[in-house]
C-alpha cells in the first residue's frame, strides 16, 4: 500500500497557464475556447452534446437560464457557463457522463475551458504581535477559525484530530489513566489552503476506528479541484477548492503513519461520522459545493473501505425561477446504537453564487432519522421516507418549524434526544436583535416550536461570590457523586469576561461555581464533551480564540493536560 506522501504528491494541483482560445465550433455557442488535436472527435462530441441539450431542454428550463448568463463580449464568460452547463448536465443526466468522459480523455481542465487561473482569495497575514492565551494548550496557534476538533475514545485512550497548520490534519492521543500524550503529529497533507490560498475552515477532520483497530481520518474538503473533472454526484462545479481525502493508520492504535484510501469523492464538503453498535461506520458529507446532495458512506464492520455513497437529498432548481436552487444543510447525530437522527434546514442557493448576507438563505427546520438495522429513513410520524429527499418531500413529510413567515432565521440546527424518545430539533433563531437556541418538539401528534432548550427552564448558576449569572453559554454535566451533581460551565460574568469553571448542584438544576479555571476578556470559548462507551463525559476539549490567537486545550480531572512538547 502506498504512503500518504507518495499518493498525495501528484494530487496537489500545479499552476497551469491558460491556453489560447482555439478552434471555434459553430454548432454551439459554448464551443468557444476548446482545444483539441482531433477536430473530428471534437465535432462529434459537440454534436452529441447539442442533441442532448435540445432533448433535455424540452422540459428543463435550467439550460436556457444558464445560457442567458453569458456575456457575448467576454470569451471567458462563454467558457465559464459552458463549464457550468456541462456540470449541470453531467450530474442531472447521467446519460451525458460517458460522452463527456470520452471527450476529456487526456485533456487538462484548461485545455477544455479557456478560463483564468482560479482565485479563491489570499491568506491574511498574522500580525507581528498576537494576543497571548493561557498556558495549558496542546496545539500550535490555529489560523483560520478551525473548529473544536473531533475525537474517538478507545478504552482509556482519547484520539483527537484537528485542522492544524495550513489546514493539514493533525492527531494526538491521550491516556486517561496515565495522562501520557503522543503527538500532536501531522497525519496527512491537505490541498485546501496551500500556496497563496486563504486559510479555509471547511477542512476540519473527523476520526473513527474500524473493527481492526485502524484509525480513519477524513478531511480537507471544500468542493474539490478543477482538475478533478466533473462531479458525478452534483449539479454544481467545484468553485470553493480543496479535496476531501481519507487516510488510515498503517498499524492498529498507532498515530505515527497513515496511508491514503481512494474510496470517497474528492468534491465533498463537511463531514460527520459515527460508529454504530455493530461496528459499522457511517460518514455523512455533502457531495460537492452548495448545490449538491448530501450522502452517507458506510464502512461495514470488518472492512476498511467505504462502500458507494447513498444519496440522502437532491438539489432542485426552482420551477418559476430556475437560476435558484433549493438544497439543504444537514446535521446528523447518533442517538442510539442503531439510530442516527438528522436535523436539516432549507438552503436557497443560486447558480450566480450570490449569497444573501442577511440570513444566507437558511430557512425552516426539519427532522428525520436513519435506522441502520434496515437502512430506512423515518419522519417523526414513523413513516418511511423515499430517497433522495427534495424540498417538496421535506415540506410535506419532515417539517418541524416553518420560518418562512417569521422574522427569525434558523441559522443552524441539531437533533435532540428527549425523554421518551420524543423527536426534537434545536435551531439557532437569529434576528437583527438576538441569536439564541430554541427547540421544536413533536408532542401530541404535532410539532411545537419556539420552546426553550432542554434543562434550561428555571436553571440557575451562581458564581464564587454567590452572584447569579445571567448569561450561561454552555453547561456539561459530568455525573453524580455522593448525591452531588458536578458539571463544567462556560458563562459570561458581570465584567463581560468569558469564564470556564467547575460547578456543583444538589438537584441538577441550581448550580454553584466551585472553581474558576479561566476568566478572560474578549475571548471566545467553545467546549466539546469527550464521552466514553457508557456515554459519560470523561474530558473536555476546549477551544479558545482571541483575535489571531487560537488554541485547543484538554481538560481532564480538574486540570488542563499538556504534552511535554508544549
* Rounded-to-integer distance, Cα 166 and Cα 174, Å: 24
* Rounded-to-integer distance, Cα 68 and Cα 360, Å: 25
* Rounded-to-integer distance, Cα 516 and Cα 501, Å: 4
- C-beta of residue 486 within 8 angstroms of C-beta of residue 502: yes
* Rounded-to-integer distance, Cα 182 and Cα 111, Å: 47
Other beta carbons within 10 angstroms of residue 26's beta carbon come to 8
Catalytic site includes residue 270:
yes
* Rounded-to-integer distance, Cα 268 and Cα 290, Å: 10
- C-beta of residue 237 within 8 angstroms of C-beta of residue 83: yes
Query: CB neighbours of 299 closer than 8 A, spacing ≥ 6?
Result: 208, 210, 216, 280, 281, 283, 305, 306, 307
Phi and psi angles of residue 351, each rounded to the nearest 5 degrees, phi first: -70, -15
Give me the catalytic one of 93, 270, 462, 517: 270
Q: What end-to-end distance do the CA atoms of the chain give, in Å?
A: 34
Distances (CA, A) of 159 to 82, 207, 225: 46, 8, 30
* Rounded-to-integer distance, Cα 475 and Cα 463, Å: 14
Phi/psi class of residue 39: alpha, beta or left (left: φ > 0; alpha: ψ in -120 to 50)?
A: alpha
- C-beta of residue 248 within 8 angstroms of C-beta of residue 237: no
Give me the catalytic one of 110, 151, 202, 222: 202
* Rounded-to-integer distance, Cα 329 and Cα 55, Å: 32
Half-sphere exposure of 228 (CA within 13 A, CB side): 27
Report helix, strand or coil for 491.
Answer: strand
Catalytic residues: 202, 270
Amino acid at each position: 500500500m502506498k504512503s500518504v506522501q507518495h499518493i498525495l504528491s501528484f494530487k496537489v494541483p500545479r499552476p497551469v497557464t491558460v491556453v489560447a482560445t482555439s478552434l471555434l465550433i459553430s454548432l454551439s455557442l459554448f464551443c468557444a475556447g476548446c482545444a483539441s488535436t482531433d477536430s473530428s472527435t471534437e465535432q462529434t462530441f459537440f454534436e452529441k452534446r447539442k442533441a442532448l441539450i435540445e432533448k433535455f431542454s424540452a422540459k428543463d428550463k435550467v439550460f436556457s437560464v444558464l445560457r442567458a448568463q453569458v456575456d457575448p463580449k467576454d470569451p471567458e464568460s462563454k467558457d465559464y457557463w459552458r463549464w457550468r452547463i456541462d456540470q449541470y448536465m453531467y450530474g442531472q443526466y447521467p446519460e451525458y457522463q460517458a460522452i463527456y468522459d470520452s471527450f476529456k480523455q487526456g485533456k487538462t481542465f484548461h485545455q477544455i475551458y479557456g478560463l483564468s487561473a482560479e482565485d479563491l482569495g489570499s491568506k491574511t497575514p498574522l500580525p507581528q504581535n498576537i494576543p497571548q492565551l493561557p498556558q495549558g494548550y496542546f496545539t500550535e496557534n490555529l489560523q483560520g477559525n478551525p473548529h473544536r476538533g473531533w475525537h474517538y475514545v478507545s478504552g482509556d485512550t482519547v484520539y483527537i484530530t484537528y485542522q492544524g497548520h495550513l489546514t493539514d490534519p493533525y492527531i494526538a492521543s491521550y491516556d486517561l489513566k496515565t495522562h501520557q500524550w503522543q503527538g500532536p503529529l501531522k497525519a496527512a497533507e491537505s490541498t485546501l489552503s496551500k500556496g497563496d490560498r486563504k486559510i479555509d475552515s471547511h477542512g476540519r477532520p473527523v476520526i473513527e476506528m474500524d473493527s481492526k483497530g485502524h484509525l480513519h481520518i477524513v478531511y480537507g474538503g471544500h468542493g474539490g479541484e478543477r482538475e478533478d473533472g466533473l462531479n458525478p454526484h452534483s449539479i454544481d462545479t467545484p468553485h470553493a477548492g480543496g479535496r476531501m481525502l481519507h487516510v488510515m493508520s498503517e498499524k492498529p492504535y498507532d498515530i505515527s503513519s497513515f496511508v491514503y484510501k481512494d474510496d470517497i469523492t474528492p468534491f465533498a464538503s463537511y463531514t460527520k461520522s459515527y460508529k454504530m453498535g455493530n461496528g459499522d461506520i457511517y460518514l455523512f458529507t455533502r457531495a460537492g459545493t452548495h448545490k449538491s446532495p448530501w450522502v452517507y458512506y458506510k464502512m461495514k464492520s470488518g472492512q476498511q473501505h467505504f462502500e458507494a455513497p447513498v444519496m440522502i437529498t437532491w438539489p432542485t432548481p426552482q420551477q418559476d425561477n430556475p437560476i435558484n436552487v433549493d438544497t439543504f444543510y444537514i446535521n446528523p447525530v447518533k442517538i442510539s446504537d442503531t439510530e442516527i437522527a438528522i436535523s436539516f434546514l432549507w438552503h436557497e442557493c443560486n447558480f450566480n453564487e450570490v449569497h444573501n448576507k442577511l440570513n444566507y438563505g437558511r430557512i425552516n427546520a426539519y427532522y428525520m432519522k436513519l435506522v441502520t438495522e434496515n437502512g430506512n429513513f423515518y419522519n417523526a410520524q414513523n413513516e418511511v421516507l423515499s430517497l433522495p429527499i427534495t424540498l417538496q418531500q421535506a415540506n410535506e413529510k419532515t417539517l418541524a418549524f416553518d420560518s418562512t413567515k417569521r422574522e427569525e432565521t434558523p441559522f443552524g440546527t441539531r437533533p435532540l434526544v428527549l425523554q421518551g424518545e420524543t423527536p426534537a430539533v434545536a435551531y439557532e433563531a437569529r434576528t437583527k436583535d438576538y441569536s439564541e437556541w430554541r427547540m421544536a418538539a413533536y408532542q401530541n401528534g404535532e410539532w411545537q416550536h419556539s420552546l426553550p432548550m432542554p434543562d434550561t427552564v428555571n436553571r440557575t448558576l451562581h458564581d464564587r461570590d454567590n452572584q447569579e449569572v445571567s448569561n450561561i453559554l454552555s453547561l456539561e454535566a459530568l455525573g453524580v457523586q455522593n448525591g452531588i451533581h458536578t458539571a463544567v460551565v462556560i458563562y459570561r460574568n458581570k465584567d463581560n469576561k468569558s469564564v470556564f469553571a467547575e460547578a456543583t448542584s444538589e438537584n441538577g438544576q441550581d448550580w454553584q461555581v466551585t472553581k474558576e479555571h479561566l476568566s478572560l476578556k474578549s475571548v471566545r470559548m467553545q467546549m466539546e464533551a469527550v464521552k466514553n462507551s457508557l456515554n459519560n463525559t470523561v474530558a473536555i476539549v476546549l477551544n479558545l480564540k482571541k483575535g489571531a490567537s487560537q488554541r485547543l486545550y484538554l481538560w481532564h480531572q480538574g486540570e488542563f493536560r499538556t504534552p511535554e512538547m508544549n
